[in-house]
A and B are shown apart, each in its own frame.
Chain A
């Protein structure tokens, strides 16, 4: 990352995402529409279900199919598992150690063994959901166009309940714990963009809405948002088509769908004085913990209401056209667009991950945070910058402890 400071003013912030390009959108061409699920999953080992769900939703909407009932409930349960696993990883292995001055969870465990042991139990509860419903924790194998390959028995899901109940207690404790952290005084007023669907917290589907009044179908996404390619990064930068900066992720969901959190999650937020909307990105760690409560709570409700469906999937016949799929990865809205022919062969693919949508806001936050912290020595400034990036839980390769800060003070 390069920063240029001239006479007390930050004149340049450039965050270079080094991740070598892998060309998913290119090699998806010529593939069968059913293959996009397992292929796009490999974009991210931390949130594979998000890629699978956005892909499968796009293909199903393209073919005029909507998966509902218990099949959808199972997919949502799988997605809750990913939220739990991913949020727990981010909160306790990366973000909380930042705030508390530890290099990582292992270092934190030396002084806070109980907290880290609990965090690992919470993470494991999410991973167990993914293993049972999805077949494995990383790159699950059970999603298919039209439903799932195999539906779990009630008895299989029952094995998850005890771990999830314990996880719910741990998540509630995490809200209280993270709320007491020392947050830098920093607020942003970027537009907050998330999915929204009546009667549910946004996870697997919805319209694209914002706190500034945006309310569009997924199919209109590309007329309202545009990706551009900057010279200093392999990650594309997204903006609203009018050029303004926006943010996706927990803060956005919390702002636009607060009322859809479970009562327990809302009580947990209220109990620590967290109000919607929250504009301090450093407080996203508390919002993530509230979402952990929600995800565990909802997973338990889905399991309690589960009845084995008659068939694991409905038949889907491909047809020529364009389809759009959106879902909420733990780190924010993930958009897929596919064009296929009548045989189901993919002709074109566009994937807009949450991290490229947040990239512009991350750089703006870095500029804002550095301007408020110019007196810090470079080493401390570097840590503060890492923390600022981590607020967004960016896809792991840029989330981790990578930052090499080049500061030029003129």
Chain B
């Protein structure tokens, strides 16, 4: 390896409890992947290469949530070998859909799914990475948006703050000229309280936002809940909208009937 190659920043990609879709987003950057691989050294990324380079790493991308005792230990090691640590996706930033166990008895869940519950080792909760270690930046989404991912990687490596909008999906609808599904059709939509980033895909496909990017900064969940009740959405519909892909993220966690 040349001296120039040795100076490239080292990138690591780690997986915890997840569907792998967020790290796949990196491989979905078909037009940029080989360029990126020239700019950084892909030092640890089991989904893409069996070659591993020892840490420490300049940038670690962490996918997935903490759901086992072993992973609770492993994330500490990941933090120790990472100069900067960025969490990617709803699992890593909010516990993911598997955090629905946080509102139930995990032993009941185990008994429902597995014939031999004694073979299963798991924690009672699914928790985001930031509850365990310091996180330098959180990129939201279920899945994340690949253009945002490239922006975050670029910014982290350049030592600047990523330019990621903190507004709501509503703003993205307005920007792309999509007719409001709530106003025009009375469709319940989490757009007003959901973190921007997807580009407002769902409303452009005639459906309400289901909040997969999680809560925006300072969302007015109470006002939206009242609005949805006014549209005759049932309490179950409202509850399920808030409590799915980012169920454990406040203030979604306390929204709907959980807040009453």
Decide if A106 touches B240 in the complex (CB within 8 Å): no
Decide if A229 touches B114 in the complex (CB within 8 Å): yes
Decide if B108 touches A42 in the complex (CB within 8 Å): no
Return the chain A residue nearest B67 by Cβ: A20
Q: Which residues of chain A are within 8 angstroms of B28 by Cβ–Cβ distance?
A: 123, 127, 137-138
Shortest CB-to-CB span from B39 to chain A, Å, is 12
Decide if B46 touches A35 in the complex (CB within 8 Å): no
The reply to whether the CB of B86 lies closer than 8 angstroms to some CB of chain A is no
Decide if B24 touches A123 in the complex (CB within 8 Å): no
Return the chain B residue nearest A351 by Cβ: B113
Decide if B30 touches A136 in the complex (CB within 8 Å): no
Q: Which residues of chain A are within 8 angstroms of B115 by Cβ–Cβ distance?
A: 228-229
Interface string of A380-391 (1 = CB under 8 A from B): 000000100000
Q: Which residues of chain B are within 8 angstroms of A35 by Cβ–Cβ distance?
A: 240, 244
The reply to whether the CB of B250 lies closer than 8 angstroms to some CB of chain A is no
A225 to B68, CA, bound (A): 30
A: contact size bracket: 35 or more
Which residue of B50, B68, B236, B245 contacts A401 across the interface (Cβ within 8 Å)?
Answer: B50
Decide if A396 touches B207 in the complex (CB within 8 Å): no
The reply to whether the CB of A304 lies closer than 8 angstroms to some CB of chain B is no
Decide if A231 touches B119 in the complex (CB within 8 Å): yes
Interface string of A177-212 (1 = CB under 8 A from B): 000000000000000000000000000000000000
Q: Which residues of chain A are within 8 angstroms of B33 by Cβ–Cβ distance?
A: 106, 120
Decide if B207 touches A401 in the complex (CB within 8 Å): no
The reply to whether the CB of B173 lies closer than 8 angstroms to some CB of chain A is no
Q: Which of A42, A124, A386 gathers most chain B CB within 10 Å? A: A42
Interface string of B97-132 (1 = CB under 8 A from A): 110110010101110111110011010001000000
The reply to whether the CB of A319 lies closer than 8 angstroms to some CB of chain B is no
Decide if A124 touches B202 in the complex (CB within 8 Å): no
Interface string of A286-306 (1 = CB under 8 A from B): 000000000000000000000
Decide if A22 touches B17 in the complex (CB within 8 Å): yes
Q: Which residues of chain A are within 8 angstroms of B24 by Cβ–Cβ distance?
A: 45-46, 89, 138, 396
Decide if B245 touches A135 in the complex (CB within 8 Å): no
Shortest CB-to-CB span from B61 to chain A, Å, is 14
Return the chain B residue nearest A403 by Cβ: B50
Decide if A106 touches B30 in the complex (CB within 8 Å): no
The reply to whether the CB of A139 lies closer than 8 angstroms to some CB of chain B is yes
Interface string of B117-160 (1 = CB under 8 A from A): 00110100010000000000000001100100000000000000
A118 to B236, CA, bound (A): 48
Stretch at the interface among A3-11, A24-32, A57-65, A273-281: A24-32
Interface string of B197-223 (1 = CB under 8 A from A): 010011011110010100000000000
Which residue of A23, A38, A105, A401 contacts B110 across the interface (Cβ within 8 Å)?
Answer: A23
Q: Which of B31, B67, B146, B205 gathers most chain A CB within 10 Å? A: B205
A148 to B156, CA, bound (A): 39
Decide if B245 touches A42 in the complex (CB within 8 Å): yes
Shortest CB-to-CB span from A129 to chain B, Å, is 13
The reply to whether the CB of A116 lies closer than 8 angstroms to some CB of chain B is yes
The reply to whether the CB of B172 lies closer than 8 angstroms to some CB of chain A is no
Decide if A234 touches B19 in the complex (CB within 8 Å): no
Return the chain B residue nearest A35 by Cβ: B240
Shortest CB-to-CB span from A353 to chain B, Å, is 12
Decide if B68 touches A20 in the complex (CB within 8 Å): yes
Which residue of A23, A117, A120, A231 contacts B112 across the interface (Cβ within 8 Å)?
Answer: A23
A103 to B210, CA, bound (A): 39
Chain B positions 15-40 with a Cβ under 8 Å from a chain A Cβ: 15-25, 27-28, 30-31, 33-34, 37
Which residue of A39, A109, A149, A229 contacts B207 across the interface (Cβ within 8 Å)?
Answer: A149
A-B contact sample (16 more), CB < 8 A, given A42-B97, A104-B48, A141-B201? A19-B17, A21-B110, A22-B98, A23-B98, A23-B112, A26-B101, A42-B21, A42-B142, A106-B42, A107-B51, A109-B34, A124-B30, A124-B31, A127-B30, A142-B205, A149-B206
